[in-house]
Amino acid sequence: MSQKEMLYEGKAKILYKGPKPNTIIQYFKDDATAFNNVKKGTIAGKGIINNKVTELIMIRLSQLGIPTHFIERMSDREQLCHSVDIIPLEVIVRNTVAGSMAKTFGIEEGTRLPNPIIEFSLKDDDLGDPLIPENHILALELAQEDELIEIMDMTAKINVFLRGLFAAIGLELIDFKLEFGRLTDGEDGHFIVLADEFSPDNCRLWDYETGEKMDKDRFRRDLGGVEEAYQEVARRLGISLEVEDEE
């Protein structure tokens, strides 16, 4: 492949200019970070797994009528996506108390919530991605009211589907984080689509029988077996881990 033009490098991915207008290439790295980039490391093969898991999830959600920026997987670590204007919010869904929620409110981790919670945080590493109420989002014009309604509606539908998907393979979806963007439509302006990724990097998955953590918490908390946990999630989803075209 000819030299690609890099647009942005983040903690887990590199974005390149795509081969067609208004497209980008997402390259998934093995780099791992936690606690707002304080802890750094490498999870061998993580980029390949996250790329393939994201592909599967995005395709399934598209089939359900959830619009996404995903076009196709190009290689083990790369996928072609529509270029979108990312809304600077992280949309967090909590089905069970874990992580920062347990610490903030002094609730025992693992406490199941009677109803899922959808909350927002400002996407700003320098500020530590603080929680932001909906009225602040509107006042700061980060998103319009109709966009927030649409995002929350899509997020609720995504949660219902993903909880069922993972329950079918013996995993409990504890919580997860999503990002959305505006995809330009030549005639109608723009519309909201699911962007970024969905992988063990941005969700918590616990084994239903053992309670074993099968996500990046194994890296955050020095539990060991990080690579094996990511591989097991992929295997349960029916994803082949055979390397096709590793660079």
Supply the pLDDT for residue 245: 56
Whether the per-residue pLDDT at 246 is higher than 70: the answer is: no
Q: How far apart are CA 77 and CA 105, in angstroms?
A: 38
Supply the pLDDT for residue 1: 43
Both 174 and 148 in a single domain? Answer: yes
Both 65 and 107 in a single domain? Answer: no
pLDDT tens digits, one per residue of 7-34: 999 999 999 999 999 999 999 999 888 7
Q: What pTM was computed for the model?
A: 0.93
Both 189 and 216 in a single domain? Answer: yes
Both 204 and 91 in a single domain? Answer: yes
Both 95 and 213 in a single domain? Answer: yes
Range of the domain at 41: 6-84+226-236
CATH code for the domain of 184: 3.30.470.20
Residues 62 and 51: beta-carbon distance below 8 Å:
no
pLDDT tens digits, one per residue of 146-165: 999 999 999 999 999 999 99
Whether the per-residue pLDDT at 215 is higher than 80: the answer is: yes
Supply the pLDDT for residue 188: 64
Choice among 63-72, 181-190, 235-244 with the minimum mean pLDDT: 181-190
Across the chain, what does the average pLDDT equal? 93
Kindly provide the residue ranges of all beta strands, DSSP E only, lying in 50-140, ordered along the sequence: 70-73, 78-82, 85-86, 89-96, 112-122
Counting residues of the chain whose pLDDT is more than 70, the rounded percentage is 95
pLDDT tens digits, one per residue of 93-149: 999 999 999 999 999 999 999 999 999 999 998 999 999 999 999 999 999 999 999
Dig out the tokens for 239 from the structure. 């994803």
pLDDT band at 78 (very low <50, low <70, confident <90, very high): very high
Both 66 and 183 in a single domain? Answer: no
194: in domain = yes
pLDDT band at 247 (very low <50, low <70, confident <90, very high): very low
pLDDT band at 187 (very low <50, low <70, confident <90, very high): low
Both 52 and 108 in a single domain? Answer: no
Structural domain count, the chain: 2
Supply the pLDDT for residue 37: 65
Enumerate residues 6+ apart whose C-beta is below 8 A from 185: 191
244: in domain = no
Q: Please name every residue paired with 34 in a beta bridge, in sequence order, or none if there are none.
A: 39
pLDDT band at 184 (very low <50, low <70, confident <90, very high): confident
Q: Please name every residue paired with 75 in a beta bridge, in sequence order, or none if there are none.
A: none
Q: How far apart are CA 121 and CA 113, in angstroms?
A: 20
Both 37 and 119 in a single domain? Answer: no
Both 155 and 116 in a single domain? Answer: yes
Tokens 């239903």 correspond to 208
Q: How confident is the model over 34-56, as a mean pLDDT? A: 88
* Residue 115 burial (CB count, 10 A): 7
